[in-house]
Structure 1
Amino acid sequence: MWEPVEAPPGLAPPRPITVRAQRIPPRRFFAEHAHAWHQIVYATSGVLTVAVEGRSFVISPEQAVWLPTGVRHRVGSLLGAEFRSLWISDDAGRGVAELPTVFAVRPLLRALILEAVAIDGQESRDGYADRVSVLIIDQLRRARPLPGTLPWPRGGPLVGLCEALYADPADPRGTDDWGRELGMSARTLARRFEGDVGMSLRSWRRRLRLFKAVELMGGGMTVTKTAMQLGYGSTSAFVFAFRTGMGCSPQAYMREQETE
């Protein structure tokens, strides 16, 4: 069971950016709410589940979510996460995005976010903190939206299915097996999954494996070990699947992340 956690007290309007470092334990969530300012949600470690505007998805430390002013949202974590919240005033956030958007977090933006947290509350007579804020906003305006996030069901038995596959992407069970596990026919499961998540279970599992591959390799795991962890029969099969889904090899993708 997931349990709610209290929102941090004393939320004041950002001028122009307020940063907060937070940790969310496993299977905890902040109940649905909205802010009178923009927000960036970014996990420095672990993954976050974000529900917004009738859809739900997970983000890794290579991704962040832009939540415009007034958008109701819920944030939680299956396995626990360290994350940073950036609250941004309407004026400062003008020109970033008008709708909830998932961005790729490149090394410079990550470094700026961590620096903003490190200097938060310190006296800045030379205007250094203001310059960091300006650079963060500039990077957000230049950030690349990501269309291929990992969608997540909003509730019901499908959540347990996705949690099990996230914990063990090599799990070989298909719709027949999972249908019996959840007390429904394979056809009913397939229809409910596609209706709730927006894609077939097979397509979702392919995307899950890509998502986990980036997470595992980003944590230092080799390509071969990642392939085995994800349940591929060989390294070459994993490389082929990764190239098909991402447009480049795993090695090329990781090199790109290190140099950008």
Structure 2
Amino acid sequence: MTQQLSIDFARRPLLSYAHDYPHGATEPWHHHDCAQLIHTLSGVVKVETPHGSWVVPPSRGVWLPAGTRHALQIVGAVAARTLFVHPLARADLPAACQVVQISPLLRELIVSALALPEQYAPGSRAERIYELILDEIRVMDVLPFGLPLPQSERLLALCQRIQQAPGEAWTLERAADELCVAGRTLARHFSRETGLQFSDWLRRARLSIALTRLAQGDSVLRVALDLGYDSPSAFSAMFRRVLGVTPANYFPAAETRPLR
């Protein structure tokens, strides 16, 4: 049974909340009667929903529409800043779960909102900050860190098998052989149920695992080899294409930890 958590907005369109999580912390399945934006300053948050998972790297955020059932897993020491947004605050709030880029402006606005009063006068500084936050939420850039899961039993089992052995030489043809179907048939069904091509889904699955492993302190070399990359440089090139920096720069400690 999923727990519903209600937020008292008083007269505000949103509520800002700061919370730090230790490594290994979890939040069980629950949902809110409002939308939620979780912004991480450090560590990695993995968000599970019935339709997929979203891995949130440091300095990014995850948007959860009102009523979304979800559970959280914390990797590393996570400093989180959360916005709870009234579902009627704006008519065009994002309608789907997504990992998003947090702009420098939005980051500072979230911090400022922590000190805003519950009640405020029309035209006041507090009202302008709240309204600007809502404006920024509407234009957040979506990042490719979501990992949608198929709903059919056979495809879901295949995806779970891949996640358990991400370093194996997975191809569309091999996956099709596992299901005893033609490659074109698998490609069609996979795209229809996940919205992604098989190769794109595989890349996201491996990146999701990599972010979690690196946040735990595993070395770049160990992660690259375990995920099936020929060399750390090949893995780093993929990581840089997606995140804009190498894993050594994104998780500096991962470069100095021993292999494990």
Normalised TM-score (structure 2)? 0.61
Q: Does 1:148 align with 2:144?
A: yes
Question: Which residue of the other structure, out of 189, 214, 218, is the alignment partner of 1:221?
Answer: 218
**CA distance 1:162–1:138, change in 2 (3 Å):** same
Quote the offset at 1:41 in angstroms.
4.5
| 2:47 maps to amino acid | L
The C-alpha deviation readout for 1:53-97, integer Å capped at 9, x for no partner, is xx74523254433345xx5533246xx459886423368x65994
| 1:147 maps to amino acid | L
**CA distance 1:98–1:190, change in 2 (3 Å):** closer
**CA distance 1:209–1:5, change in 2 (3 Å):** same
Q: Secondary structure at the match of 1:215?
A: helix
Question: Which residue of the other structure, out of 80, 101, 105, is the alignment partner of 1:104?
Answer: 101
- 2:246 aligned partner: 249
Instruction: Tell me how far apart the structure 2 counterparts of residues 200 and 164 of structure 1 sit (CA, whole Å).
Output: 17
Q: Secondary structure at the match of 2:239?
A: helix
Quote the offset at 1:185 in angstroms.
0.6
- 1:127 aligned partner: none
| 1:178 maps to amino acid | A
**CA distance 1:175–1:154, change in 2 (3 Å):** closer
- Relative to structure 2, which stretch is displaced further, 198-207 or 82-91? 82-91
Q: Does 1:6 align with 2:30?
A: no
CA contact (8 A) 1:40 1:87 kept: yes
| 2:35 maps to amino acid | H
Quote the offset at 1:149 in angstroms.
2.7
Q: Within 5 A, what are the aligned runs for 1:154-233?
A: 154-157=150-153, 158-181=155-178, 183-187=179-183, 188-233=185-230
**CA distance 1:59–1:210, change in 2 (3 Å):** closer
- 2:120 aligned partner: none
Normalised TM-score (structure 1)? 0.61
| 2:54 maps to amino acid | V
CA contact (8 A) 2:56 2:62 kept: no
- 2:35 aligned partner: 38
**Could you list the runs of 5+ residues in structure 1 that have no partner in the other structure?**
120-129, 256-260
Aligned residues: 227
Q: Does 1:60 align with 2:59?
A: no
User: Identity, % of aligned pairs?
Assistant: 23
Quote the offset at 1:107 in angstroms.
10
Q: Does 1:74 align with 2:69?
A: yes
**Could you list the runs of 5+ residues in structure 2 that have no partner in the other structure?**
116-124, 253-260
Instruction: Tell me how far apart the structure 1 counterparts of residues 217 and 105 of structure 2 sit (CA, whole Å).
Output: 20
Quote the offset at 1:15 in angstroms.
5.0
CA contact (8 A) 1:175 1:186 kept: no
CA RMSD after TM alignment: 4.6
Quote the offset at 1:29 in angstroms.
4.0
**CA distance 1:241–1:11, change in 2 (3 Å):** closer
Quote the offset at 1:109 in angstroms.
8.0
CA contact (8 A) 1:42 1:61 kept: no
- 2:47 aligned partner: 48
**CA distance 1:179–1:197, change in 2 (3 Å):** same
